[in-house]
Amino acid sequence: MINRRIATIFLSLIIALHVILVPASGFADSIPAVPESRMTYLVMDAKTGHIICSSGNENDKVYPASLTKVMTAMVALDHCTDLDKQFLISQAAIDGIGVDGQNTGRLKAGMYLDFGQLLNIMMIYSANETSCAIAENIGGTIDGFIDMMNAKADSLGLTGTHYVNPCGMHDNDHYTTILDLAKIARASLDYPIIGEIAAKSGVSIDYGDGNSPVYYNSTNRLINQAHYGNYYNTTYTRDGASFSYKVTGLKTGYTDPAGCCLITTSTSTEGREIITVVLRASSSLVAANYSHKLLNYVHKNACTYTLCTSGEYYGTVDVQGSSVDQIALVYEDNADISILASQFNSELVTAKYVIPETITAPISAGDHIGQVQFFYNDSDIPIASVSLIAGSDAPTAIPDSTTDVPPSDTDDNNSHQVDASPTTPSITVENPEPKNNWGSILIISAVGMCFFVTIVLFINKNAAKIKEKL
């Protein structure tokens, strides 16, 4: 076995090779400057949760305003998926909009509206009374629903978030952090209904009261560009190739203490998913413009680095009760990280593996055996997590028929029973060394790197002569 230091170097070498194989160019000079000193921002890779860039102070207390409604939507959908279910509108819900709170002006006590209609108005037009109505119908009372919101925040690991209402009315005890807001946005991507609604430029609602339906425009300038007359370019080029991204959501917010806030979700034709959070802007236009600049910069300048690939060999694990002593472990999926090329340093990547010391047969190829988490720059938040699976079968051992095995008290056929004892307790290891062939692989990789560097130096040294001959 090689020691942990060699394993760490090998991990860095693997990542360095991936960087060489996935070059990037055409990067802008720097992250767009914040246009107002009070504003803060954070950009997250939606697939991994990695913070690509931020203005700092990610855990400082901030007020979420109507960004609260993303959590309201998630909690509601956790407990009701029937969008056609009729919800009763109470006077308390109508009165709960707060001073100058955004509202429809059309909901009346005793009226019934579909859950889906209320969700649409809440996410698209940000009407406060729809949040209160949803809370009452899902939680029994608004206070009951708030307890559910705080429980959801705890389950998502949002240590800096606390709710006292479902719509975002200002209260000193209703707060979050910019990092928690990005985590909420990332969690919302697991709710297709939220994504479908948030991507709409508007929605038409028939209240069934004999009056004409009302069309509510989205408050998100990046989604509803035609309404606001602001058009944003979402194409970019890299190495002569053209790409584009699409804004898919998510939510606007405003109160005087919070300022104008905007969470934006986006996907690119390269497969990258980026979340931006912009807080404390002086206007919705400033928030939208800066969010757009961040999206342009990150989609163009971030590159995807592969930390491991599906089916890639990790090492072996001992097997008990099988005709084979060991089986190979392989990575189940790819682990990619989106990061600004100018910030990437392969030496800052570490890995923690949770693997059993031994496993017990029978084992089938593809069975989950352990897990690896990748971390970057000493962060305690993993940038990627991948399962380690069995690369082959490990069948239960067939007893030798010539062996004198005493009969079991409960076995009429005198057949030998293999002890199916539980798997040995798992252990957590940082950058553990695989059990087989790492030394050879390291030498081969090092030789390959030297060969690559030699070729590059030869070409650079003889470029003039080659040009003359051509």
- Lowest-confidence pick of 299-308, 319-328, 454-463: 454-463
Mean pLDDT of 439-463: 55
Model confidence band, residue 200 (pLDDT cutoffs 50, 70, 90): very high
Share of the chain above pLDDT 90, in %: 64
pLDDT level of residue 347 (50, 70, 90 thresholds): confident
SS3 of 330, please?
strand
Mean pLDDT (whole number) for 364-389:
89
pLDDT in tens, 158-178: 999 999 999 999 999 999 999
DSSP three-state, residue 465? helix
Give the C-alpha separation, 441 to 437, whole Å.
6
For residue 344, the model assigns a pLDDT of 75
User: Using one digit for the tens of pLDDT, what is the confidence trace for 138-161?
Assistant: 999 999 999 999 999 999 999 999
User: What CA–CA distance (Å, rounded) separates 237 from 245?
Assistant: 11
* Burial annotation 271-301 (CB, 10 A radius, 16+ → b, else e): ebbbbbbbbbbeebebbbbbbbbbbbbbbbb
Cα(323)–Cα(341) distance, integer angstroms: 48
Q: Using an 8 Å Cβ cutoff, are 376 and 383 in contact?
A: yes
Does 270 or 29 have the greater pLDDT score?
A: 270
- pLDDT at residue 16 tops 70: no
With cut-offs at 50, 70 and 90, classify the pLDDT of residue 335.
confident
Residue type, 168: G
What domains lie within the chain, and their CATH numbers? 4-21+309-398+418-460 (2.60.410.10), 40-49+235-303 (no CATH), 65-225 (3.40.710.10)
pLDDT band with cut points at 50, 70 and 90 for residue 304: confident
* pLDDT tens readout for residues 42-98: 999 998 888 999 999 999 999 999 999 999 999 999 999 999 999 999 999 999 887
Q: Which residues contact 393 (CB under 8 A, 6 or more apart)?
A: 327, 362, 363, 364, 365
pTM: 0.75
What residue type is 205 in one-letter code? I
**Span 359-364, average pLDDT:** 95
pLDDT over 70 percentage in the chain: 78
Residue 165 three-state SS: coil
In the chain, DSSP finds a helix count (H) and a strand count (E) of 12, 19
Closest residue by Cα to residue 160 from 67, 57, 59, 261: 59
Question: How far apart, in whole angstroms, are the C-alpha atoms of residue 19 and residue 181?
Answer: 31
Least confident of 135-149, 301-315, 415-429: 415-429
What is the longest distance spanned by two Cα atoms in the chain?
90
CA distance 399 to 408: 14
Q: Do 295 and 267 form a contact (C-beta atoms < 8 A)?
A: no
Residues pairing with 251 in the sheet: 263
The confidence band for 21, taking pLDDT boundaries of 50, 70 and 90, is very low
Using alpha carbons, list the distances in angstroms from residue 470 to 4, 457, 463, 465, 467: 50, 19, 11, 9, 5
Mean pLDDT of the chain: 83
| pLDDT category of residue 400 using cuts at 50, 70 and 90 | low
The stretch 306-316 carries a mean pLDDT of: 91
Question: Comparing C-alpha atoms, which of 125, 150, 133, 126 is closest to residue 80?
Answer: 133
Which pLDDT band, with edges at 50, 70 and 90, does 464 fall under? Answer: low
C-beta atoms surrounding 269 within 10 Å: 14
Please state, in angstroms and rounded to a whole number, the distance separating the CA atoms of residues 181 and 338. 19
pLDDT on residue 428 = 43
